[in-house]
Amino acid sequence: NKEAAMIGGQTPLYVACQNGHEACVRVLLDAGANTEAADEDGATPLHIACWKGHEACVRILLSAGANMEAVKKIFGATPLYSACQNGREACVRVLLDAGANTEVADEHGWTPLFIACRNGHEACVRVLLGAGANIEAASTDGRTPLFIACWKGHEACVRAMLRAGAHKEATTTDGRSPLHAACCSGHEACVPVLLEAGANMEVAEVHGWTPLRVACRNGHEACVRVLLDAGANMETVNKFGWTPLYAACRNGNDACVRALLGAGANKEVANE
């Protein structure tokens, strides 16, 4: 029985694709194996071939008519999404050449470009951009691919996105910019890249937190120094009346305190 499945719903064709056994895949397909038989999570043989990066199996499945837009029950990922998630550039190219949709998003609103940026797969990012993927497609909370690349500290992806014209001031639903993301997570390599591209250092999110204040709160001295060298305002306050120095002191971030004092921050300003 060529469709006999394991406990998790994995058919012989699925397992052959999972392990990259091209000859077995051909034999099973010639015998009429179902290309759409999915496991218990809704992953088809094409999903697993893309996830594992078995380009030859992907080509064979597509030639046999496998559905490129099949969506997994878990998260709603397509084969293209799965390939981008794991950085399988060759599979991404095959799928795009076959006409795969670059804009199908998962349950969080993450597109293939978003997940490639999130996981730092620059090669996949470049391929997707070359195929016309929507550079500003945002998640349900308003995070763009550029934002998530900054949040995760993937400098190469950040550069690729900016070169392609990504909006450096696009904000989330709570007003955070890509520069906020880089400063919040302490990715100092991404900060000068954004600043060189003209990112606004003084943008504040809904509670009045600027990138400098966020970096001070979280103790990211290197980001603080980059921002100060670029001329960031040390005396702005958030809705609670906190300056960057107050935020650094409140959270015990002495290295940030020293950096701010060395730059001339007002040490006597009080919160409201």
- b/e code 136-167 from CB counts within 10 Å (16+ = b): ebbbeeebbbbbbbbbbbbbbbbbbbbebebe
Spatial distance between the Cα atoms of 153 and 16, rounded to a whole number of angstroms: 36
Average pLDDT of the residues of the chain: 95
SS3 category, 5: coil
Is the pLDDT at 24 greater than 70? The verdict is yes
Q: Where are the domains of the chain?
A: 1-97, 174-272
Computed over its alpha carbons, how large is the radius of gyration of the chain?
A: 23
Q: Do the domains 174-272 and 1-97 match in fold? A: yes
At the topology level, CATH places domain 1-97 in: 1.25.40
Segment 128-175, tens digit of pLDDT: 999 999 999 999 999 999 999 999 999 999 999 999 999 999 999 999
Give the residue from 214, 144, 158, 167 showing the smallest Cα distance to 186: 214
Reported pTM: 0.94
Is the pLDDT at 2 greater than 70? The verdict is no
Spatial distance between the Cα atoms of 250 and 176, rounded to a whole number of angstroms: 22
pLDDT recorded at residue 132: 98
Q: Which CATH architecture describes the domain 174-272?
A: Alpha Horseshoe (1.25)
Is the pLDDT at 75 greater than 90? The verdict is no
Note the Cα 181 to chain centre separation in Å. 12
**Contact criterion met (CB below 8 Å) for 81 and 47:** no
Local confidence band at 267 (pLDDT 50, 70, 90 cut-offs): confident
